[in-house]
Structure 1
Amino acid sequence: ERTLPVPESMLGIFQEIVTLFAIVAVGYGAKKLHFMNNEFDRMLSKLVINIALPGMILGSVLTATQLPSAQEVWECLGLSFASMLIMFVVAYGFTLLLRIPDGHRGVYRFMLCFGNVGFIGYPVLTAVFGPDALVYAAVFNLPFNLFVFTVGAWFLTQDTDGVKVQTTWRTFVTPVMISCLVAIVLTLLGIHHAPILGDALNTLGSITTPAALLIIGSSLANMPARELLGSPRLWICSLFRLMVMPVLIWAVFSPFVPSGLMLAVTIMLTGMPVATNGTMLCYQYGGNSRVMAQGTFVTTVLALASIPLLASFVTTVL
């Protein structure tokens, strides 16, 4: 297992977060200037979820110069699944403890469980630990994508007004789900060098991050500025998501998982801001997009401070 490298300057982390947040601001301005509207947001969300994101998932495997050993892949997959299950249990308990009302519990549980692994996690890991961390992040991200489009989508359907949406197995047979399964098989088989196909998928997937961030900014523009900060409950949830959840994951797994890059990646990815595809999934499944947009905004702003603190914590304890 690879040892933990010495992190680069924290300035690099700040730069990555500020850069991403700037694109959200562009989306906000585009909606205000009428370059984007709600229908455009829905169609762009559909394009990202069904075409660009699957391309990014498959491209990350097919352009990798090196993959972990089969044993490390299974260990990383197991760690990812186990950490997600723990977060599900914690999220249920936390929303009951905070007495989150009906119509909001699903989106709060989504925000607690699903962080911005791909869009912010990858650049942050590169800034902190170097490119070797992305090998583990790509493997770790596979179960995340399986869960976000199944359990995460189910969370959001529980917040819809009136009769709850009835979901079946067909609801979750999506291009993202299929691409995740294919990526897992390719990783286990060690197939990762396909220059033309991999580069094409990577290029297609490269529109995912800016498009998703533009959609978030545009959705934020639908609300009055005073509503962007949300409620005290949202702030408590955001701080728990960014700081408490990763420390909890460290406390649970550190006695069993050797200190090293795999565990560091797991802890860091657990402390990312709310997943950008949460807003897009709200459009698709009828979830509470207003609260989701607030949670995305608040956690992304707080991440300017929380991610450097978390990086310092990880490099200190591991």
Structure 2
Amino acid sequence: MGKDRWQLMPEGFASIIQQMAVLFSIIAVGYIANKTGLMGREFDKHISKLVLNVSLPAMILASVLDVSEIPSRSDILTTVVLAFFAYLVLIAIAFVFCFVVRCRKGMRGVYRFMLVFGNTGFLGFPVVAAIFGNEAIIYASICNLPFNLLVFTIGAWFISSDSEEATPVRVSVRTFATPALIACLVTIAFALAGVCAVPFAGPALSTLGSFTTPAAMLIVGSAMANMPVRDLLGNPRLFAMAVVRLLVTPAIIYLTLHAFVSNAVLLGVLVVTCGMPVATNGTMLCYEYGGNSKVMAQGTFITTVASLVSVPLLVLLLG
């Protein structure tokens, strides 16, 4: 795989659009399941706990233990550093956005979460493969490690510290000591030690982790069903967030890093993953920490719909 240039793989756009369609179909099933009584708020909370504590940690571990090849230690460290730097930029953008649009208390945490954390797993991986080829998935996997570390620390703090509940959830060390965070730290250690392709354990974790994506999509769809149809489109502030999330943020990441990153594939992976829709586990974290699941579901819906256009547009602009 050349590192000095990249181009859209054959049928790349069709693969991207197809993946978006898959996402919408599962969300639609969750919506219908809620309307027919198969899912509901309490059921969604229990499934959210199962995903956050069991299947998601398995998916994280499988990102290293179920692959046959990983980059060198120096490449891993460089990618991790760049990914963390990108998230620092995203966090700064989120705080500036909330100040500019004057998000009220009780909403700031949700908006900050939506602007920092994108759907880098379910959508990010297949989109990266469609654009750069399957060889680039390892870069996406490494870039996803800081996501899993930060989403259960900074992300949980965003939501819980600005909860609309009368008594905000207190964030402590115990709050952050989640199975997903522990799995993330173990995964980074395995990657640095060169451990991969572990027989039985890798495939088993991958199979268990595969439950994460459909479960998360179903929960998002069910959460949407709890709102009137007219509320799904949200408000102008949500549309502004979507523009920043999908187009402005990846553009800033590109302008910030392109002069320092000679590996064009790595730069492209960073930029494209930063332009993904809102992370679907945001709705689950709202259930867990008392955040506004309605606004989170609206943001997820709007950015996912818009990404049908924004992702191909982003690829064209960067290409």
- Classify the TM-score, shorter chain: over 0.9
Measured in 2, the distance between the counterparts of 1:180 and 1:259 equals: 25
Measured in 1, the distance between the counterparts of 2:252 and 2:77 equals: 22
1:164 aligns to 2:168 (yes or no): yes
Gaps of 5+ in 1: none
Match of 1:84 in 2: 87
Measured in 1, the distance between the counterparts of 2:314 and 2:250 equals: 8
Q: 1:22 aligns with which of 15, 25, 39?
A: 25
- Matched to 2:8, the amino acid is P
Match of 1:37 in 2: 40
1:262 aligns to 2:263 (yes or no): no
Measured in 1, the distance between the counterparts of 2:56 and 2:193 equals: 22
Measured in 2, the distance between the counterparts of 1:262 and 1:79 equals: 9
Secondary structure of the residue that 2:134 maps to in structure 1?
Answer: coil
Measured in 1, the distance between the counterparts of 2:52 and 2:129 equals: 24
The CA deviation at 1:259 is: 4.1
Match of 1:208 in 2: 212
1:70 aligns to 2:82 (yes or no): no
String of CA shifts for 1:19-64, please: whole Å, max 9, x gaps.
1111001100110111111111001100011000010111111111
Change (3 A) 1:32 1:77: same
Q: TM-score, normalised by structure 1?
A: 0.97
1:290 aligns to 2:294 (yes or no): yes
Match of 1:276 in 2: 280
String of CA shifts for 1:102-161, please: whole Å, max 9, x gaps.
110110000000000111111111122111111001111111111000000000013322
1:94 aligns to 2:97 (yes or no): yes
Measured in 1, the distance between the counterparts of 2:4 and 2:128 equals: 14
1:115 aligns to 2:114 (yes or no): no
Measured in 2, the distance between the counterparts of 1:164 and 1:38 equals: 20
Secondary structure of the residue that 1:35 maps to in structure 2?
Answer: coil
Q: TM-score, normalised by structure 2?
A: 0.97
Gaps of 5+ in 2: none
Contact 1:41 1:215 in 2 (8 A): yes
Secondary structure of the residue that 2:123 maps to in structure 1?
Answer: helix
C-alpha RMSD of matched pairs (Å): 1.0
Contact 1:159 1:288 in 2 (8 A): no
Measured in 1, the distance between the counterparts of 2:46 and 2:177 equals: 19
- Matched to 1:64, the amino acid is V
Q: 2:250 aligns with which of 246, 253, 257?
A: 246
Match of 1:133 in 2: 136
The size of the alignment, in residue pairs, is 315
Measured in 2, the distance between the counterparts of 1:85 and 1:6 equals: 28
Measured in 2, the distance between the counterparts of 1:267 and 1:96 equals: 24
Match of 2:235 in 1: 231
Contact 2:160 2:168 in 1 (8 A): yes
The CA deviation at 1:3 is: 4.2
Q: 1:199 aligns with which of 203, 206, 209?
A: 203
Secondary structure of the residue that 1:223 maps to in structure 2?
Answer: coil
Measured in 2, the distance between the counterparts of 1:185 and 1:247 equals: 32
Secondary structure of the residue that 2:111 maps to in structure 1?
Answer: helix
Measured in 2, the distance between the counterparts of 1:304 and 1:225 equals: 21
Contact 1:119 1:276 in 2 (8 A): no
Measured in 1, the distance between the counterparts of 2:291 and 2:207 equals: 30
Match of 2:190 in 1: 186
Percent identical residues: 50
The CA deviation at 1:4 is: 4.0
